[in-house]
Amino acid sequence: MASLPPGGTAGADSNQLLVEANGSTRTLIMNRPKQLNALSSAMIMGLLRCFTAYEKDDGVKLLIMKGKGRAFCAGGDVAAVVRSINNGSWKYGADFFRNEFLLNYIIATYSKPQVSLLAGIVMGGGAGVSLHGRFRVATENTVFAMPETGLGLFPDIGASYFLSRLPGFYGEYVALTGARLDGAEMHVCGLATHFVQLNRLPLLEQSLKKVDTSNPFAVCGIIDQFSHQPSLKENSSLNRLEIINKCFSKRTVEEIISALEQEASNSADEWVAATIQSLKKASPTSLKISLRSIREGRTQTIGECLRREYRMVCHVMRGDFSRDFFEGCRAILVDKDRNPMWMPPRLEQVHDEAVEQYFSRIDDPQWEDLNLTARRSHGRNIESKL
């Protein structure tokens, strides 16, 4: 194992991120397998140091990202964030998300190719450290989701950028329902650039470690040798794009649910009923701010999306209108009774003025907007195979 670039944390946290050096390739390994590689503050700071140092280092041409164990990364360690806020101030959470979003921005604008090997679970913050990169390799055991509306949060980490660029209104469907996608679905909708069988990933990794170029076409050519076009399962949500576009194109969450209920009355499709159930279990506040976030993301740059999402997440942590984030974490991650008591409990109680608040600056003299220096975008593409 190579050492992390200077400025690292000492002690127990220092082995949460491992680095392997092979010629001009660096492999970054998220190493909290018991926590499904949930991103801690130490891991985020370690990744920031690596990406910053390797971009300037002419001896590094390619980065590989992977997770130890059965997950790539199940998200940010929001339970730790909530504990810290409860013990101190919402500003601890603000610092956590500021650093995480800065990392997402650097990855999205990185000048060298990054190959993320998405074996296992890829959720929330795990999507943030991978899907903004140049190459995203899914497998038959990949499970992707943005489950935030069920936690009283919203799809953050720049998700309003990449979800809003999926085919039709599929991004709204994925964002609001927290639907799980498999590797084939990720590939077909464009979230993954390649699909490689799990048993071939080690061979792909070996080939990539011999690379001595930052030319994305050369790197893509290597991955292409191991990849193939997967088939969608019959019950895939992508086979229901017509219904998704018809319903999730509606202006409000209430109208989306009403359209789905109309579909349910005309059809015995269990998928429609399950989709309605997912929406009715989610936080009403989260659903409304998430829908607006995706809609705004369609016309914004990645930097603009992250700046807006940072405002939103600071409002969520302050809990001025709703404390659903704390209740969701209690019900899903701490007590695990899976029975959150949302406040307000109904969609019609979440008024437009309340939603508007989440998109405004924070009224605190010590708070600052997310300041992202201008960096050149390197043409990240969400290319649907449909």
Give me the active site residues, please. 76, 125, 148, 156
Tokens of 193: 């650039």
CA distance 98 to 120: 27
The contacts of residue 375 (CB under 8 Å, 6+ apart) are 105, 106, 109
Among the listed residues 237, 233, 313, 312, the one whose alpha carbon sits nearest the alpha carbon of residue 272? 237
**Contact status, residue 280 vs residue 258, Cβ threshold 8 Å:** no
How far is residue 154 from each of residues 20, 58, 124, 293, measured CA to CA in Å? Answer: 34, 38, 10, 9
**Contact status, residue 311 vs residue 360, Cβ threshold 8 Å:** yes
Tokens of 301: 């740059």
How far is residue 195 from each of residues 68, 231, 233, measured CA to CA in Å? Answer: 20, 11, 15
CA distance 132 to 382: 10
**Contact status, residue 333 vs residue 79, Cβ threshold 8 Å:** yes
**Contact status, residue 261 vs residue 215, Cβ threshold 8 Å:** no
